[in-house]
């Protein structure tokens, strides 16, 4: 088969996917009736609200007397419930065995796992920060074709420092290491060619208990970041220690994928540079809380990371919700909300799930419950501003006007 035929075959396949009966473009009108609606984290709630969606978009938001329900709409009774914009989890991984050969594997096990991991917790958009891109790109295609109910998936290509194979990844796993700025730039160009949406750098790599962290030379990191930025793509980094945070700053990285457990709150000079460069932070607090290190060390790791989130947010920096699930199997988001609440208000936490990532990743039609916005919505069993753990009590998850999770 020549190149043109391959392309043609691919295009036809993509078209069939897009037009499939379950495809997102054919979502039926949905009317969410009677709930308390937060248009955004800083808005007052609209009581007894009505939201109408059509073709994946919100077409009306208002009180029951103001909004006419379309005759064909699927009506979802939301009385006693709260409706907010769809959630983003900006740090996940599609690396578990269930996603292997995602292009050809049967859809049922993947659909079941997608629900356990993401949709039952309200996620309508995710950033996969490192996986086998072939699986994730194939999974995304099947999700967007309506075969597997799931979120809008963004994915990145990873780059490790030389000798920077982390202790927690299998030794036989082949990881892309960059020894020079040229290596790093070339890797990022390859990722862009493959259709990936961003970059993940290990500016610090954990080599095991008692062994020194391997940090990436900022000049190597910078070379990859420059290629990503020239293509309009964000750069994430796993910092691991304060030297890794310094490399984030020096290389122009956009998003820190974790706090740095066991380190002090960021230094004033670092906070000033974060602000100047628009750096964002993903806390992943429950990841550190769940490390098998015993209660005393665990309490210290949580205290240091909570202090970092507080210093970062008080400095005005954007916090993006993220949990590293897929690497961990701790899918329940309740603990993450409880720990974040030690540093942030309920409204700030809701912003980390909605308006912050939508704004940061330039998704202009996401993050708010408003007319003409994407119909990405979460219906909660309780008011998250009254009790932050209500963010984990999801009754419905709706993406592009289609119910992708419904509590049994």
What residue ranges bind Zn ion (CB under 5 A)?
Answer: 129, 324, 327
- Considering the complex, state which of residue 137 and residue 257 has its C-beta at the smaller distance from Zn ion: 257
Taking the C-alpha atoms of residue 127 and residue 153, their distance in angstroms, rounded to an integer, is: 6
Among candidate residues 381, 332, 343, 328, the one with its CA nearest the CA of residue 123 = 332
Min. distance of Cβ 238 from Zn ion in angstroms? 7
Q: CB 325 → Zn ion: shortest distance, Å? A: 9
Nearer to Zn ion, 95 or 355 (CB): 95
Q: How far is the CB of 122 from Zn ion (least distance, A)?
A: 20
Positive or negative, the Cα torsion across 63, 67, 69, 74? negative
CB of 256 to Zn ion, least distance (A): 12
Among 368, 397, 401, residue whose Cα is nearest residue 381: 397
Burial degree of 404 (CB within 10 A; 0-12, 13-18, 19+): buried
**Shortest gap between Cβ of 379 and Zn ion (angstroms)?**
29
Which of 197/324 has CB closer to Zn ion? 324
Nearer to Zn ion, 263 or 324 (CB): 324
Closest distance of CB 93 from Zn ion, Å: 6
Closer Cβ to Zn ion, 126 or 388, answer by number: 126
Q: Are 343 and 305 in contact (CB under 8 A)?
A: no
What distance in Å separates the CA atoms of residue 350 and residue 104, rounded to the nearest whole number? 36
Q: Which is nearer to Zn ion, 202 or 327 (CB)?
A: 327
Q: Give me the least distance between CB of 159 and Zn ion, in Å please.
A: 14
For the chain, give the number of residues: 408
Q: Minimum CB separation from Zn ion for residue 112, in Å?
A: 22
CB of 326 to Zn ion, least distance (A): 8
Q: Looking at beta carbons only, is 156 or 351 nearer to Zn ion?
A: 156
Which residue number, 129 or 251, has a Cβ lying nearer to Zn ion?
129
Residue 148 main-chain phi, psi, to 5 deg: -130, 115
Give the residue nearest to Zn ion (CB). 324
CB of 327 to Zn ion, least distance (A): 5
CB of 254 or CB of 324, closer to Zn ion: 324
Residue closer to Zn ion by CB (options 257, 379) is 257
- Looking up tokens 């009590």 gives 393
């Amino acid at each position: 088969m020549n190149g043109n035929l391959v392309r043609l075959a691919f295009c036809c396949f993509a078209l069939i996917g897009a037009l499939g009966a379950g495809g997102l473009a054919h979502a039926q009108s949905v009317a969410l009736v009677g709930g308390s609606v937060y248009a955004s984290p800083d808005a007052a709630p609209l009581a007894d609200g009505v939201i109408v969606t059509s073709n994946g978009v919100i077409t009306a938001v208002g009180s029951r007397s103001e909004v006419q329900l379309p005759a064909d709409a699927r009506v979802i009774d939301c009385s006693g419930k709260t409706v907010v914009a769809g959630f983003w989890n900006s740090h996940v991984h599609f690396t578990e065995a269930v996603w292997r050969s995602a292009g050809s594997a049967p859809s049922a096990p993947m659909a079941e796992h997608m629900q356990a991991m993401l949709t039952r917790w309200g996620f309508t958009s995710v950033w996969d920060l490192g996986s086998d891109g072939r699986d994730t790109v194939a999974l995304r295609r099947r999700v967007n074709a309506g075969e597997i109910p799931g979120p809008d998936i963004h994915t990145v290509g990873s780059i490790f420092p030389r000798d920077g194979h982390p202790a927690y990844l299998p030794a036989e796993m082949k990881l892309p290491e960059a020894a020079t700025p040229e290596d790093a730039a070339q890797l990022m160009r390859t990722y862009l060619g493959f259709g990936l949406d961003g970059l993940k750098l290990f500016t610090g790599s954990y080599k095991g208990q008692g062994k020194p962290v391997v940090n990436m030379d900022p000049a190597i990191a910078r070379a990859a970041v420059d290629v990503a930025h020239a293509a309009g793509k964000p750069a994430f980094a796993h910092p691991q220690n304060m030297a890794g945070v310094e490399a984030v700053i020096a290389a122009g990285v956009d998003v820190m994928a974790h706090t740095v457990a066991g380190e002090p709150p960021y230094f004033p000079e670092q906070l000033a540079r974060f602000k100047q460069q628009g750096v964002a932070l993903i806390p992943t607090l429950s990841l550190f809380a769940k490390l098998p290190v015993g209660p005393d060390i665990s309490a210290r790791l949580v205290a240091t990371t909570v202090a970092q989130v507080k210093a970062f947010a008080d400095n005005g920096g954007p916090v993006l919700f993220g949990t590293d699930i897929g690497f961990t199997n701790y899918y329940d988001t309740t603990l993450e909300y409880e720990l974040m609440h030690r540093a942030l208000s309920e409204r700030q936490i809701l912003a980390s799930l909605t308006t912050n990532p939508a704004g940061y990743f330039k998704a202009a039609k996401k993050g708010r419950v408003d007319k003409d916005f994407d119909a990405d919505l979460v219906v909660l069993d309780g008011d998250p501003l009254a009790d932050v753990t209500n963010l984990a009590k999801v009754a419905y998850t709706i993406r592009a006007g289609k119910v992708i999770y419904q509590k049994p």
